[in-house]
Amino acid sequence: MVAVLSNSLSCLAIGRVVVMVTLLVLSSGCRAQLSSTFYKHTCPQALKTIRTVVRAAIARERRMAASLIRLHFHDCFVQGCDASILLDDSPLIKSEKFAKQSNNSLRGYEVIDEVKLAVEKTCPDVVSCADIVAVAARDASKYLTALKSSSLFGRKGLSAREIVALSGAHTLGQSRCVAFRARMYGNISDIDAGFASTRKRNCPPLAPNGDGNLAPLDLTPNSFDNNYFKNLLKKKSMLQ
């Protein structure tokens, strides 16, 4: 788990400092044991604090639930769930945050910062940013659907089954035209023609016209359900 370096730093600020530490840790080849009760004794109020802040953020803006889940998905998708999505560019790295798939698209960073601040007041220098991102995503889905989950923390190195399950997070939220234009207008055999036609109405063929226009990833974009997978079987997927 990523160590918290200072209780005066936000998760985003830590990102600038933690690069060298992360490189050293990765080079050591160590493996941590993961546990859903990791903070039971070191920070017993951690999960409750995270849940409170996340619920408040979603109450202010329901779309934030999808944003927090998507943030966790993008964090896990590149070499594991390690909070690297929070890192800024530096002379040593090209950040995931500013990659084409993420830049000006991912959101919810301010909620992660708000959670971090609240947790630090409760138990300084204990809870990692990686765990905050993971638990925030878990609580976001639970808040919307009351689904129970016993898996709080991701691990580095995902199986094909885990990647498929993680991809199901796309059942929530919306996508920008710039992200799905090529798929809608391309000569692709694995997409339903009627579905593509509907999505084209709000996504002009020539960039940058309509680049920021949004369309739901499935027909129930505010519900955490399995419609994403049903849509895939019907060739009605927004993303390649």
Which residue in 54, 75, 221 sits closest to 138, CA to CA?
54
Quote the crossing angle between the two packed helices 109-122 and 63-77, to the nearest 10°.
90
- Catalytic residue ranges: 74
User: Each residue of 20-59: b (16+ CB within 10 Å) or e?
Assistant: eebeebeeeeeeeeeeeebbeeebeebbebbbebbeebbe
| DSSP for residue 168 | G
> Please, what's the largest Cα pairwise distance for the chain?
56
Instruction: Name 229's Cβ contacts closer than 8 Å, sequence gap at least 6.
Output: 168
The CA distance from 100 to 103, in Å, is 6
